[in-house]
A and B are shown apart, each in its own frame.
Chain A
Amino acid sequence: MSPLPAPPTRTAPALPAGWVPHRIRGRLVTVDEPLRLGAGGRPAAEAVRFLRECQSHDLVVRWLPATDDPLFTGPAHEVAGTAGLLRHLPAPGPLPGEPAELTTWRERHAYGQLYHRRGPDFVTVMDRREPSAAARFTIDDPDLLAAFRTVQDPTAVAALDAVGREAVDLLAAERLARVTDGWAVALPPRIRRWPVPCTDI
């Protein structure tokens, strides 16, 4: 057999292990347990990180929310708040009786609504979760940049020094980090794959 060129490969992404049990086949990730994004604290932060990394690698994620989680059972404004904050992440699958805000999340999710890009000593963020209020940020202040890097991994706020805490507060105020029950996690996925056309995001 004459040699055939190897098909172009895509490296298998390294997804955060441990907190979110899942299976991966090709570009499809199936999460094996319902996620508790509304409950807060470390498990919610870890679940956000997991979905964020899947989004960063352009993976399709099948996941369901726990039906006793505040994201499912909570008051409409709280569900809407969380779903709006996380709209750039893969949306939950449909469940009977789900809050309307989760349906909206599914309908409005699109690739590249919120993402970050790394430069030499800065990071840029594009936020189009609310199309009418699109925003661009450049994070180049060293303290803010350090905090942004730290909270790529879920981080206990109590473990940060005063400067770090202030920086995380700022990131949370700009909706670039989520802080619940003392745990912080960054929200914008790193863009690893540009869509076609790349100019649309």
Chain B
Amino acid sequence: MRIHLVTMPWQPIELPSLQVGLLHALLDRTRPDDEVREFHGSLRWAEFLLERSKGALRPGDHVAVGSESIFDGLGDWVFSGVLYNDPEWGVAQLKEYAARRGTDISTATAMRVHAAEFIEESADAILDEAPDVVGFTTTFMQNVSSLALAAELKRRRPGLTVVFGGSNCDGPMGHALHRNHRFVDHVVRGEGEYALPALLTHIDAGTAPADVPGLCWWDGQESRANEESRRTVAPADIPSPDYDLWQQAVDASPVAEYVHPKLVVEGARGCWWGEKHHCTFCGLNGSAMTFRAKPGNRLWDEVDRLVRRHRILDIVTVDNIIDMAYFKDFLPLAAESRWDLRMHYEVKSNLTAEQLELLARAGSVHIQPGIESLSNRALDLMDKGVSGSRNIRTLRECENHSLTCSWNYLYGFPGETDQDYASVIDQMPALVHLQPPGGAHRIQLERFSPNFANPALGFPQRRPAEMYRHVYDLPEDQLADLVYLFDTPPAGIGGGTEARLKAAARDWYTGHPASTLVLEQPTGDETLLVHDRRHGWPRRTHRLTGWHAAALRHLEAGRTRSALHRLLTADGDPPTGAELDAWLRETVALGLLFDDGRSYVSLPTWHVPVRSVERAQAPDGTAGGASGTPDNGEKAAG
């Protein structure tokens, strides 16, 4: 059998598709007689646009449409005219939507005129190689481009078998995708490692795949959805991806000079925190929350093999949360290699300073610690399991260890009040030397999240997000099963508090590049110096001696007032309760401490990382960096 694995726009063009790499390796192992080919449609699309637009539409433009417009659906819309065989389909809807919201649609509009021809050429290229089965993997905004190509392939060669899989096919979404698109023969829902080989066996034999868990298939004109299995794929059965054909495609591509290829690896699936305390807004893990991780030494072997094979030192991990065991095996192995890796990892925010230091030493210099908020009440409401001061500690240690920290400020949790935000917003100017949030964003209702599953949590009214109206020509009841994001009446804060939060986050972002607040302890001296060079604050050096200096150091770990008092008493030179209260008040007012309402944490850092000047040039509070590097996997969670 000849099988074609396809990844369509908007797979980030500097990354191989993990799914294609995994399935290729899986098929090589389980079906050695098959011939597996790959179609890197996203890369081809970048080439196609570059050529057709005579250099006007560049690979860098993919980020704006393909990654950053995830909440406006522009990437899907680019291909919806092809899917519905009508260049005007969805155009008026999008224009009206964009005018109302102030969304820039110029790049997407310029791209859309090329979409039909691209789909035709892609179909030519794939059919030239005479596949028996074409498998599409779809995540985020890959649905419509994939459906458009699948429809064209089936129109030209009805005997071809079309299979869909990927995150967009999880649970009810997969069934809705299947039953609304007759040209999609099968949809693999959930993980593909067991289901795909089982399906291919049925295709070989010409039998009905009624026993493949989770699979959607056509029984005559009826779309059947087999019951999904509760069995998750064991780590030992998760293959190590094969990126050889991707590398060939990149090497041959004129787009190569515009992109900085990175490797994608997977250590774990599911989330160990979410197994016990599912963060109320998070739908990231789909229907498979059970945490499973490859042993650290196996993950390192994979990284070692891929780095040597592809000569690439940039690595993106797709794990929603790092396995804490990796601090004992994987990360030390990475550190011991002494290679100059640059890895991206999603971690939990309550790591210790030592763990953050190890991440830095291991080359995991870009982390996403799921900070989400600095308000204890909001963090409690979302069941995040960290406090505001703990999050501040993480931000501070990122400065000490030169770790790039990506995060967003989330709000809109049912039950939160203006009061929960007042103190945090007031204190934000003091945080300007720490890495700012990319922006402050209202949470959206995501399928698979507790907020979605349980309307009693505060979102009883919901409907498919408005953007899907310019993406799919489907009735609302079908969209309700097909899509991932939903609109709801706003919960939590709004009005003036919302505006103040957004403005404070923006000010933090713009003030950050020139701001430092650095501790110094002259040798042999008990005096602490704090050099304040923060934007918006008087330029000065604070001198702390005696118990004041000790208190500031004790509060590096974040402590309650009474815990601090106990420590100072043990030190032997305790202040009175009134003295301590006065000092805490004054030091918070000087912006040297953050008070989350339960505990205090010191803000000065011991070190300052090299600040990239480019950050200052993108002060819109929405996107970091001016290099155009898509921050793949950037999502409001982790």
Which residue numbers of A lie inside 8 Å of B, CB to CB? 1-2, 4-5, 7-8, 10, 58, 110-112, 117-122, 124, 136, 138, 140, 190-191, 193-201
Chain A residues near B609 (CB-CB < 8 A)? 193-196
A197 engages B612 (CB within 8 Å): yes
Contacts A8-B357, A120-B307, A140-B311 given; indicate if A195 touches B567 (C-beta within 8 A).
no
**CB nearest neighbor in A for B605:** A8
Most buried by B among A1, A112, A121, A197: A197
Chain B: residues with CB nearer than 8 A to chain A?
A: 260, 304, 307-308, 311, 313, 337-340, 342, 353, 357, 365-366, 397-406, 435, 519, 521, 550, 553-554, 556-557, 567, 570-572, 606-607, 609-615, 624-627, 629, 631
Q: A110-B613, A119-B340 are in contact. Are A199 and B402 (CB under 8 A)?
A: no
Give min CB distance, B562 to chain A, whole Å.
15
Task: Report whether A4 and B627 are in contact in the complex, using a CB–CB cutoff of 8 Å.
Answer: no
Given contacts A4-B553, A120-B337, contact A196 B308 (CB under 8 A): no
The 5 lowest CB-CB distance pairs between A and B, nearest first, are: A117-B340, A200-B612, A195-B610, A196-B609, A195-B612
Cβ of A187 to closest chain B Cβ, rounded Å:
17
> B556 — which chain A residues lie within 8 A by C-beta?
5
Q: Is the CB of A196 within 8 A of B435?
A: yes
Measured CB to CB, the closest approach of chain B to A11, in angstroms, equals: 11
In the bound complex, residues from chain A placing their C-beta under 8 Å from that of B629 are 199-200
Asked if B339 contacts A120 (CB within 8 A), the reply is: yes
Closest to A123 in B: B340
**Beta-carbon contact of B342 and A118 below 8 Å:** no
Report the bound CA distance from A117 to B400 in whole Å.
Answer: 22
Cβ of B625 and Cβ of A200 under 8 Å apart?
yes
In the complex, are the beta carbons of A124 and B625 less than 8 A apart? Answer: no
- Determine if A194 and B342 form an interchain contact, defined as CB atoms under 8 angstroms apart: yes
- Of A7, A122, A199, the most chain B CB neighbours within 10 A belong to A199
Question: A196–B612 contact, CB under 8 A?
Answer: yes
Q: Which residues of the other chain, B, contact A4 by a CB distance below 8 angstroms?
A: 550, 553-554
Give the residues in chain B near A58, CB-CB below 8 Å. 610
B404 close to A119 (CB less than 8 A): no
Q: Which residues of chain A come closer than 8 Å to B435, judged between CB atoms?
A: 196
Given contacts A7-B519, A119-B340, A138-B311, contact A198 B366 (CB under 8 A): yes
Least CB distance from A117 to B in Å reads: 4
CB closest residue in chain B, given A199? B629
Measured between C-beta atoms, what is the minimum distance from B308 to chain A in Å? 5
A117 contacts across to B, CB distance below 8 A: 313, 339-340, 342
Best-buried of B260, B365, B405, B610 by chain A (most CB within 10 Å): B610
Q: Give 23 A-B contacts (CB < 8 Å), ordered by A residue.
A: A4-B550, A8-B357, A8-B401, A10-B607, A111-B613, A112-B610, A117-B342, A119-B313, A120-B339, A124-B311, A124-B313, A136-B260, A140-B311, A194-B365, A195-B402, A195-B612, A196-B398, A196-B402, A196-B435, A197-B624, A198-B365, A199-B629, A200-B627
- Residues in B with CB closer than 8 Å to A10 are 607
User: Which A residue's beta carbon lies closest to that of B258?
Assistant: A134
List chain B residues, Cβ under 8 A from A196: 398-399, 402-405, 435, 609-612, 615
Shortest Cβ gap from A61 to chain B (Å): 14
Nearest chain B CB to A38 CB, angstrom units: 28
Q: A2-B567, A197-B404, A197-B624 are in contact. Are A122 and B311 (CB under 8 A)?
A: yes
Cα(A188)–Cα(B304), bound, Å:
25
Decide: B612 and A201 in contact? CB cutoff 8 A: yes
CA distance A2 to B555 in the complex (A): 13
| A2-B625 contact given A120-B308, A195-B609, CB 8 Å threshold | no
Q: When the two chains form the complex, which single residue of B304, B353, B612, B627 contacts A8, counting CB atoms closer than 8 Å?
A: B353
Q: A197-B612, A197-B624 are in contact. Are A5 and B557 (CB under 8 A)?
A: yes
A7 touches B606 (CB 8 A): yes
What residues on A are CB-neighbors of B403 within 8 Å?
196
A18 CB, min distance to chain B CBs, angstroms: 26
Given A7-B521, A8-B401, A194-B609, list of 5 further CB < 8 A pairs?
A8-B357, A58-B610, A119-B307, A197-B406, A199-B625
Interface centre among A120, A191, A193, A200 (most CB of B within 10 A): A200
- Indicate if the CB atoms of A111 and B612 lie closer than 8 Å: yes
Closest beta carbon of chain B to A143's beta carbon, Å = 17
Q: A118 with B612: in contact, given A124-B311, A194-B404, A197-B624 (CB under 8 Å)?
A: no
